[in-house]
Chains A and B, each alone.
Chain A
Amino acid sequence: MKLPTNRPAWLTLERLAKLPAKLAGRLPRFPDEIRLPIPERVRKSMPVFMRTTTFKLAMLYSLMIAAFSGALLAYLYYSTVYYIRVESERRITVEFEQLANAYYTGGMERLSQSVFERMTLSGSPFYYYLEDTSGRKIAGHFPRLPDDPPESGMKTVYFDFELPQSDGTKVLRPAAGRIVRLRDNGGSLMVAFDTAQQTVIVDRIQSAILVAAPVALILSLLGGVLITRGAARRAEELAKTAEAVIGGELSRRVPVRGTGDEFDRLAQRINAMLDQIGKLVEASQNTGNAIAHDLRSPLTRLRNRLELALASPMTEQDASNTLGETVEEVDRVLDTFNAILRLARLDAGTEGLRVRMDLSEVAEELAELFDPACEEAGLTFRSQITRNQLVLGDRELIGQAISNLIDNAIKYTPQGGSISLSVTRGAEAMIDLTVLDTGPGIPEGDRSKVIQRFHRMDSARTQPGSGLGLSLVQSVAELHGGELVLADGNGPPDRPGLRATLRLPRA
């Protein structure tokens, strides 16, 4: 036997947990795009701001306001009219009750008397008419009944009558009345009510609504237009800037008004994007220049050598030597070429992964990799690596950057010197990886130059390498949101050594 539960089987906790998300999915979403049913031809000829989403939204909004206020006004109108009607009905009923009282206690005589009395009462809003069975008038304001009396019971009538004025003229007044067939001898009594005032009130309300509604609609539309025109203008500024940039004016930027609104934020983003594009264009131009500068001369040298070899008779040994040298030269050109491409891709930001990785581990690995080579070169290598320094980065690129720094140190530090690699926690959530050597160092004025593409200090022209080592470190640092800082080492002023710090943000 299964135990009865209050909970249906399908109502599991997991399902309950998923419910909010499900409900959210079912909720009606505000339309992303509003398409008003406007013919394409008309749409094309509309001013720009009228074609904007904001304008359409304002339009929709004002239409909604119009609909709501229309409903409100209609309610107001009908409830007022209804109240007036009910009120007059009630008063006529009261009047009839009193007259009926007179009729039942004193018959036709008492009734006619009562009617006469009431007719002379000043300020009464009621009009009367009383006739006998044969239809002859006994008393009343009117010459005759506006309508045939009912066979029995009562009926309601609406009519106009001529009201004599004190100056002898007559005014047509609207009235509502009730005709009652009297019992027993069957005469008819009508009590009517001047509805002129009511009609005026109702007319007032009607005309007020008729005037107010379109005015409200026009005002809300106008408001919408005014509001959206500002937005449309700013969107237009964006479009103009984009057009200018497309037209080659890469320095154009979207004006920022400093209001901090969405448009300002959008403008700032777009400007940042344009800055980035500008940087990329500059980088590719630099790459072009670099290729021209750094590849043309070795290629020319190569060509000259081959030309010379071709022109002069040589022994097999000479030829073999020349070919060997040529291959070496070509390899260098290819290395440089690869380095240029690598840098260009780094600058474009398309290179490299960003994963959480232990910088200390990479540093340890490279220390272990380079330690024997340093020893072989007659240098003391020390490493001091703080463990577990995590960064978001590409192990390969960072490894290459560190390798370049150590390569550079080995290249410039004379025998007997020392190189140290350290990883420490730097300031402000940064991690400092420092390679310190006891070489000649780099004079302060030249530091920014060595980071630039294809600069190699003249004293170093004889050393191998494409001269892109530090540039690559710089690019890798920038790609990871860090920097390369060059400073003097710990040596004496004439040979200070170089302290190269790759500073990366901590993950």
Chain B
Amino acid sequence: MADTLHHRALKVLVIEDDNEMASFIEKVLEDAGHEVECARDGAAGLARARAEDFDALVVDRMLPEKDGLTLIREFRDAGGTTPALFLSALGDVQNKVQGLKAGAEDYLGKPFVPAELAARVEALGRRQTGEPQVTSLKAGDLEMNLLTRKVTRAGKKIDLQPREFRLLEYLMRHAGQVVTRTMLLEKVWDYNFDPQTNVIDVHVSRLRSKIDKEFSEPLLQTVRGAGYRLQG
């Protein structure tokens, strides 16, 4: 069940006026196995987003006809629930806050690493299909009870620090997907800057030593040039 979900191709609408950027995004997402449609301006994008049931929207902020913020606002006001990601050169924290306030689920500044975009779109597309209220998470033989905060692998209890717990929770909620370092810093630590030291890597490798060390099959994998993936 989980596996079929993870390999389902997402239908993504990319609203971007710059041709080169649009085809780059298209290529990145298609390489990740998704089905991509492009709209060249805000009005056309909004019309498409309303007309068809997409799994995710990737929206530029500065668009002809209708800017991205207005587009998302209008889309949400009309009851549109498709998760959206802003992809914009306006990449500051404040811009990001604006974008999220307008109703987008995620925000990525340009320029971006292709893997980052692919990972975030993947995370967005899954959001819709995930069960809204869960009390426990499961990835392979790894289990996490969100109420008692107990984590076990193959029935064996694993002791985690509070932050490690949150880190693992995020990874488990996105099991099977690539999760980037920036995403982890954003979602687990709630910071948007980019530390030059590889702080996240160290945290992940500590977590890995706790959950994978005594088991033959590693669950937490490093995806070269992108980030991490917890096997589903």
Contact = CB atoms under 8 A, between A and B. Distances in A.
Contact of A372 (B91, B194, B196, B199): B199
Contact of A411 (B91, B193, B196): B196
Contacts of A403: 191, 193, 195
Interface in A322-360: 334-335, 338, 342, 345, 351-352
B203 interface: yes
A310 B196 CA distance: 32
Given A351-B92, A372-B199, A396 B193 contact: yes
A342 B92 contact: yes
B196 A465 contact: yes
Contact of A373 (B94, B189, B197): B197
A410 B191 contact: no
Given A338-B91, A351-B92, A351-B94, A407 B206 contact: no
Interface string B177-198: 0000000000001011111111
B195 A407 contact: yes
A399 interface: yes
Contacts, number: 51
A464 B202 contact: no
B206 A410 contact: no
Contact of A464 (B93, B193, B196, B199): B196
A338 B81 CA distance: 33
A372 B163 CA distance: 12
Contacts of A386: none
Interface in B183-230: 189, 191-199, 202-203, 206
Contacts of A464: 196
Nearest to A334: B111
Contacts of A370: 195, 197, 199
A460 interface: no
A184 interface: no
Q: Do most interface residues of chain B lie in helix, strand or loop, or is the interface mixed?
A: loop
Given A334-B111, A399-B191, A400-B193, A345 B92 contact: yes
Interface in A361-400: 365, 368-370, 372-373, 375-377, 396, 399-400
A368 B163 contact: yes
Nearest to B192: A396
Nearest to A396: B93
B225 to A, nearest CB: 10
Interface residues of A, number: 27
Contacts of B198: 373
Contacts of A373: 197-199, 202
A370 B163 CA distance: 13
B64 to A, nearest CB: 24
Contacts of A372: 199, 202-203, 206
* Residue among B193, B198, B199 having the largest count of chain A Cβ atoms under 10 Å: B199
Contacts of B193: 396, 399-400, 403
Nearest to B191: A399
A351 to B, nearest CB: 7
A485 to B, nearest CB: 22
Interface in B41-85: none
A406 B206 CA distance: 20
Contacts of B191: 365, 369, 396, 399-400, 403
Contact of A407 (B111, B189, B192, B197): B197
B189 A365 contact: yes
A338 B111 CA distance: 10
Contacts of A399: 191, 193
A411 B195 CA distance: 12
Nearest to B189: A369
A147 B184 CA distance: 119
Interface string B74-116: 0000000000000000011110000000000000000100000
B53 to A, nearest CB: 36
B12 to A, nearest CB: 24
Contacts of B196: 407, 411, 464-465, 469
Contacts of B206: 372
* Residue among B94, B191, B192, B196 having the largest count of chain A Cβ atoms under 10 Å: B196
Interface in B151-188: 163
A273 B48 CA distance: 49
A376 B197 CA distance: 11
A406 B93 CA distance: 21
A464 B198 CA distance: 12
Interface string A126-170: 000000000000000000000000000000000000000000000
Interface string B5-23: 0000000000000000000
A244 B184 CA distance: 53
A376 B189 contact: no
A480 to B, nearest CB: 15
A69 to B, nearest CB: 62
Contacts of A411: 196-197
B165 to A, nearest CB: 13
Nearest to B162: A368
A354 B177 CA distance: 37
B72 to A, nearest CB: 22
Contacts of A369: 189, 191, 195, 199, 203
A377 B194 CA distance: 18
Nearest to A377: B197
A84 to B, nearest CB: 84
A410 B197 contact: yes
Nearest to A466: B196
Contacts of A334: 111
B2 to A, nearest CB: 30
A335 B193 CA distance: 12
Nearest to B193: A400
Nearest to B206: A372
A406 B195 CA distance: 9
A368 B188 CA distance: 12
Contacts of A351: 92, 94
Which 5 residue pairs are nearest across A and B when measured between Cβ atoms?
Answer: A372-B202, A400-B193, A373-B199, A373-B202, A407-B196
29 contacts: A335-B194, A338-B91, A342-B92, A351-B94, A352-B94, A365-B189, A368-B163, A369-B191, A369-B199, A369-B203, A370-B197, A370-B199, A372-B199, A372-B202, A372-B206, A373-B197, A373-B199, A375-B202, A396-B93, A396-B191, A396-B193, A399-B193, A400-B191, A403-B191, A403-B193, A403-B195, A407-B195, A464-B196, A469-B196
Given A334-B111, A369-B203, A373-B197, 10 more contacts: A335-B194, A368-B163, A370-B195, A396-B93, A396-B193, A399-B191, A399-B193, A403-B195, A406-B197, A411-B197
